[in-house]
Each structure stands twice: as structure tokens, then as C-alpha cells.
Chains A and B, each alone.
Chain A
Amino acid sequence: MELLHTFFNWSVFVDALPLMLRGLGVTVLLGVVSIILGLVGGLLLAMLRLYAFAPIRWLARAYIDVLRSIPLLVLLVLIYYALPFVGIRLSSFAAAAAALSLVSCAYSAEIFRSGIEAIPRGQFEAAASQGMSFFNTMRDVILPQAMRIVMPPMTSNCINVMKDTALASVVAMPDLLKQATQAQALAANPTPLVGAAVMYLLLLLPLVQMVSWIERRNAAGGKSA
């Protein structure tokens, strides 16, 4: 009974719910924005990393390596607390979205690159022999095939971005975790934290299962369409 009352306190939960739902909305919004920016940026970065002129290729590679090495929390704190010293003052949402998508696009660039490199040379040659431009070759021939290959790792990456949104509570962004922590302090009861954990699970568990499903289907599909 004591345990239930402490961790699953219904009235505390109901009181905290409106704010937590608003927090959940912020979390989802931040995650979606960062994921989209990360995918678009990652694709561009992968193109530069693979096909640009040498100096730009090196820059892209350096960017990818650096951003994959730096802890996300450190980057976030730098953007939010250090940039103001050079006059760049971002809202907590913008700072979090920037940090998340800057890192995410480094990871997605590597995923896209592995997908593109997995496409047989013959596909590039067939398109080239037909006089197709680089842009058309990518859009119509290479990327559609690469997308299928990178689906599982890319979804995993998106899940990570969604999870990492929780770090934004460090820069006082009113996301799900932040709201739950505040509600917990207010009620002197941890139920909101448990509630937040459950909400994260409800959000992410289906995605995780989707990844395993795609992987199983790809493994079963074998020879690829």
C-alpha cells in the first residue's frame, strides 16, 4: 500500500497531468524538429563527404568526426551558456534543437554514406551510361535503394534523438522530464517521474519494435527486391 501510494499516487498524477502533457508536446515537437533537421542535414553532409571537392570533403569528414565525439550534453551547454558571450543568445528550445540536430546530422550522414556505398557500382554505371545527371542518378536510382538499406539504423538514430531530448531539461526547457521533475518537487511525491517514464516508453517502445520488425523482415526477405 505504502509503495503504491508513493510511486503510483493517482491524485498527484492527475494534478500533474496537464503540465506533463504540455511537456510531452514540447518533447515531441523538439524531437520531430531535430529529427527532420538531422535527416536533411545528414543527407547533405553525406553528399559532401562522398562527392564534394577534396577540401570540402575533408571539412565534412572533420565535422562528422568531431560532432560524433563531443558529448551531446557538453555541446548543449556550450550552445546555451557559452554562445551568449559572443552575442548569440538562443532560446532553450532553439539551443536544444540546434545541439540535437547538429549531432544527429553527423550520425545520419554516416548512415546515409554506408547505405550509398552499399549500392553496387553497376547501378551508378547503368545510370551514367544513360546520360543521367548526378542529381537524377541520386534521386531516381541510388537514394531510393539506399533508403531501404538504412531504414533500421536510421530509425534507431531517430529514437536516440527522441530520447536525448530529455537532456534539454538541463537548459530549463519545459519538456516532459522538466515538467515531471517540477511536479515531483511540488507534490513531494515521485509519481510524476514514474508517469514521465511511462510516457517515454509509450512514445518510443513502438518505434523500437518497428526497427526489430523491419530488421526481421529484411532478414527474411533475403535476396532483396
Chain B
Amino acid sequence: MSSLIEIEHMNKFYGQFQALSDINMTVEQGEVVVILGPSGSGKSTLIRCINLLEAYQEGEIRVADQRVENGPNLASIRCEVGMVFQNFNLYPHLTVLANVALAPVRVRGMSRRSANDRARALLEKVGMAAHADKYPSQLSGGQQQRVAIARTMAMEPRVILFDEPTSALDPEMVGEVLDVMQNLARSGVTMIVVTHEMGFARKVADRVIFMESGRIIEQNKPQEFFTAPQEPRTQAFLQAILHH
């Protein structure tokens, strides 16, 4: 049986600059993988290659056995791979409800009514049902990010990619978003999370991947990763993060 996501010998270049080198990794159905690493290590680039927001030049990425590449399959792959962005990227001209219901109607061909019903149920789940008729600009950052998570879930993707979902938030709003993500993880959603929230990584991750300079340096269960890191560079990173 093959894994949900399989990345083999993947290289990515920005012009001459190699942003990712020989990436090999797999993610199983239901797994929560947290990616850690210093700024510029290629974490965002890696997860953005999985839904081809960034093109990769060598190797292969497969999602549910389909090769991720430009072409007729791309839209259907993107339906299976949701993404939550650092800056939310909600559609500012649409209400919260319409933000969540748009893609299911346009892409999945769902009727507007059932899409709205589903959107309401999802907003309920992330604690935003009372704000369904507001516009994104009327919400706090934490609220916007919870709506963005609901919008992503509305497509019922098989995996959700999170790119530093709490980094743009005021500290007092980080918790509410992490709680929503933790609930998702518990309910069995497959997640790949780039974050600097070590607490989340310890508590929620099934596996932690550490990157530096475009390479995967080390990966392990959180327990082992945080208590007994193998690589000197991982040790240095954890030292720096945990003692400041």
C-alpha cells in the first residue's frame, strides 16, 4: 500500500539557487507532520511544491498515487490538498459564509444550498458560526484564520498544508487557532504543519521533520526529536529555540 504523499529525490531551484535538495519523505493517511527549521531553510517552499504553487524541477511528488505536475490532473490534485496560509488570504469581497462555500460550488459542483449548509456546519466547528455574514476585514486575525481553516476543510481535502498559520497573529490569538488545529488532528485529518510553535509540535505531531539549507536533516517522533536529537544541527536549533 502506498502512502498518501510520496516525495522522491525532489530538487527545486530558484534560477541558479537550489532551494530544496534531494527531498525524500512520505506522509501517511491520518498523520500529523510538523516541519521545523530556521528561516530560509525551505519549509514553505517544500509544502508549496506539494500543491504546485511552486514548481519543482527534479524528482517526483505524488499525492494519492497521482504525480503532481502541470496538466489536466492538477486541479483535481489541488482539490485533495488544502492549504492554510500565514496571511489567511481570505477573499475580502465575500462574506465569511461565501468564502467557505465558494470553491465547493465552483469546483466540486455542489449546489449553493448544500454548500451553504456545509459551510455553516464547518463555521460552527471552528467557532465562527456567529460571524457568518461578516466580511473578513471585520474579524480579528485569529478569527480570520479559523475561517480560512473552515474554507479549506470545505473542499474535504485528503491532506491540509499549514504554512505558519499563527505567525501573523497577535500572541493572544495564537491559542484559539492552535486549538482548532488540534481538534482537526484528533478527528483524523492528515496535516503537514510548518510552525514555530514547539508546544503544538510536541503535543500534536506524530512526526517532526527538521530542515536546514533546503535539506531534511532529521525526522523522528516528537518525543525522541525533542529529548534526543541525533544531528548536531538539530541540537543547535533546539538549543537556540528552547533557551531564549
Which of A120, A123, A129, A225 is within 8 Å of B83, CB to CB?
Answer: A129
Tell me whether A131 and B91 are in contact in the complex, defined as CB-CB below 8 angstroms, given that A125-B53, A136-B107, A140-B102 are known contacts.
no
Tell me whether A132 and B103 are in contact in the complex, defined as CB-CB below 8 angstroms, given that A122-B85, A126-B85 are known contacts.
yes
Task: Write out the residue numbers on chain B whose beta carbons fall within 8 Å of the beta carbon of A145.
Answer: 91-93
Q: Report the tally of A-B residue pairs with Cβ distances under 8 A.
A: 69
Task: Write out the residue numbers on chain B whose beta carbons fall within 8 Å of the beta carbon of A125.
Answer: 53, 83, 85, 89
Task: Write out the residue numbers on chain B whose beta carbons fall within 8 Å of the beta carbon of A223.
Answer: 137
**Restricting to A155-209, which residues have a CB under 8 Å from any CB of B?**
none
Tell me whether A128 and B53 are in contact in the complex, defined as CB-CB below 8 angstroms, given that A136-B107, A145-B93, A224-B137 are known contacts.
yes
What is the predominant secondary structure among interface residues of chain A facing chain B?
Answer: helix
Count residues on chain A whose CB falls below 8 Å from chain B CBs.
21
- Bound-complex Cα distance A123 to B75 (A): 16
Task: Write out the residue numbers on chain B whose beta carbons fall within 8 Å of the beta carbon of A123.
Answer: 89, 91
- Bound-complex Cα distance A225 to B6 (A): 40
Chain B contact residues, CB within 8 Å of chain A: 51, 53, 75-79, 81-83, 85, 87, 89-93, 102-103, 106-107, 135, 137, 151-152, 155
- Extra 20 A-B pairs, beta carbons < 8 Å, given A225-B92, A225-B135: A122-B87, A123-B89, A123-B91, A125-B83, A126-B85, A126-B91, A128-B51, A129-B53, A129-B82, A129-B83, A130-B78, A131-B77, A131-B79, A132-B103, A133-B107, A136-B107, A141-B102, A145-B93, A148-B93, A223-B137
* 3 A-B pairs closest in CB distance: A122-B89, A130-B103, A131-B78
